[in-house]
Structure 1
Amino acid sequence: MKKKSRNVGKYEVGRTIGEGTFAKVKFARNCETGESVAMKVLAKSTILKHRMVDQIKREISIMKIVRHPNIVRLQEVLAGQTKIFIILEFVHQGKLPENESRKYFQQLIDAVAHCHSKGVYHRDLKPENLLLDAYGNLKVSDFGLSALPLQGDGLLHTTCGTPNYVAPEVLGDQGYDGSAADIWSCGVILFVLMAGYLPFDETNLSSLYRKINDAEFSCPFWFSPKANKLIHMILDPNPKTRIRIDGIRKDPWFKKNYAPLIYREDEEVSLDDVCAVFEDIEDQYVAERSEIKDGGPLLMNAFEMITLSQGLNLSALFDRRQDYVNRQTRFVSRKPAHVIISNVEAVAESMGLKVHTRNYKTRLEGISANRMGQFAVVLEVYEVAPSLFMVDVRKAAGDTLEYHKFYKNFCAKLEEIIWKPKEVMGRSNLLKTMTY
Structure 2
Amino acid sequence: MTPSLQPHNSAKHPPQIIHNDSLVLQDMLGVGAYGSVYKAYDQVSRQMRAIKCIRTAGLDSRQRAFQGHEAELHSLVSGHPNIATLHEVVEEDDFFYMIMDCGLEGDLFSKITERGGYVGKALAIKSIFGQIASAVLHCHSKGVFHRDLKPENIIMFGDVVKLVDFGLATTEPISSDFGCGSTFYLSPECQGGYVEQVTSFDSAANDVWSLGVILINLVFGRNPWKQACPRDETFSAFVLNNDFLQTILPMSDELNDIIKSVFCLNSKRRLSLPEFARRVQGCTSFTTAGEGSSSSSPRATAAAAGATGAETTPIRFHFGHDALLCNSRDNKAQSQGQDSGVCVELHSVA
2:66 is matched with 55
Q: For residues 128-143 of structure 1, what are the structure 2 equivalents within 5 Å?
A: 128-133=152-157, 135-143=158-166
Corresponding residue to 2:177 among 135, 158, 182: 158
1:129 is matched by which residue type in structure 2?
N
Corresponding residue to 1:181 among 183, 203, 206: 206
Q: CA 1:258/1:169 → structure 2, altered by over 3 Å: closer, same or farther?
A: farther
2:72 is matched by which residue type in structure 1?
S
What is the CA–CA distance in structure 2 between the aligned matches of 1:209 and 1:146, rounded to whole Å? Answer: 30
Q: For residues 110-259 of structure 1, what are the structure 2 equivalents within 5 Å?
A: 110-133=134-157, 135-148=158-171, 150=172, 154-159=173-178, 160-172=180-192, 173-201=198-226, 207-208=231-232, 211=235, 214=239, 217-219=244-246, 220-251=248-279, 253-254=281-282, 259=316
Q: How far apart are 1:79 and its partner, in Å?
A: 2.0
Deviations 1:199-221 (A, max 9, x none): 1126x975139937938651454
Q: CA 1:198/1:15 → structure 2, altered by over 3 Å: closer, same or farther?
A: same
Q: CA 1:243/1:221 → structure 2, altered by over 3 Å: closer, same or farther?
A: same
TM-score scaled to structure 2, two decimals? 0.65
Computing the radius of gyration over CA atoms, which structure comes out larger, 1 or 2?
A: 1
2:245 is matched by which residue type in structure 1?
S
Instruction: Classify the secondary structure of the residue corresponding to 1:236.
Output: coil
More helix by share: 1
What count of residue pairs does the alignment treat as equivalent?
251
Q: How far apart are 1:255 and its partner, in Å?
A: 6.5
Identity of aligned residues (%): 27
1:7 is matched by which residue type in structure 2?
I
Any conservation in 2 of the 1:111–1:140 contact (CA below 8 Å)? yes
Deviations 1:148-201 (A, max 9, x none): 1x4xxx521111111221111112242111111100000011011111111112
Instruction: Classify the secondary structure of the residue corresponding to 1:207.
Output: coil
1:260 is matched with 317
Any conservation in 2 of the 1:226–1:252 contact (CA below 8 Å)? no
Q: How far apart are 1:254 and its partner, in Å?
A: 3.9
What is the CA–CA distance in structure 2 between the aligned matches of 1:112 and 1:30, rounded to whole Å? Answer: 28
Deviations 1:69-111 (A, max 9, x none): 1111111011222212110100131404222222111111111
Q: CA 1:33/1:108 → structure 2, altered by over 3 Å: closer, same or farther?
A: closer
Q: How far apart are 1:246 and its partner, in Å?
A: 2.8
Higher relative contact order (CA 8 A, sep 6+): 2
What is the CA–CA distance in structure 2 between the aligned matches of 1:210 and 1:189, rounded to whole Å? Answer: 17
Any conservation in 2 of the 1:6–1:14 contact (CA below 8 Å)? no
1:218 is matched by which residue type in structure 2?
L
1:242 is matched by which residue type in structure 2?
R
1:66 aligns with 2:81: no
1:141 is matched by which residue type in structure 2?
V
2:36 is matched with 24
The unaligned stretches of length 5 or more in structure 1 are 263-436
TM-score scaled to structure 1, two decimals? 0.53
Q: CA 1:74/1:131 → structure 2, altered by over 3 Å: closer, same or farther?
A: same
1:41 is matched with 53
1:75 is matched with 87
What is the CA–CA distance in structure 1 between the aligned matches of 2:16 and 2:204, rounded to whole Å? Answer: 42
2:334 is matched with none
What is the CA–CA distance in structure 1 between the aligned matches of 2:280 and 2:234, rounded to whole Å? Answer: 31
Q: How far apart are 1:224 and its partner, in Å?
A: 2.7
Instruction: Classify the secondary structure of the residue corresponding to 2:57.
Output: helix
2:27 is matched with 15
Q: For residues 260-339 of structure 1, what are the structure 2 equivalents within 5 Å?
A: 260-261=317-318
Q: CA 1:12/1:259 → structure 2, altered by over 3 Å: closer, same or farther?
A: closer
Any conservation in 2 of the 1:115–1:121 contact (CA below 8 Å)? yes
2:175 is matched by which residue type in structure 1?
L
What is the CA–CA distance in structure 1 between the aligned matches of 2:140 and 2:207, rounded to whole Å? Answer: 9
Instruction: Classify the secondary structure of the residue corresponding to 1:260.
Output: strand
How much is the aligned-residue C-alpha RMSD, in angstroms? 2.8
Q: CA 1:37/1:45 → structure 2, altered by over 3 Å: closer, same or farther?
A: same
Any conservation in 2 of the 1:71–1:141 contact (CA below 8 Å)? yes
1:106 is matched with 130
2:176 is matched by which residue type in structure 1?
H
Any conservation in 2 of the 1:106–1:254 contact (CA below 8 Å)? no
Any conservation in 2 of the 1:16–1:26 contact (CA below 8 Å)? yes
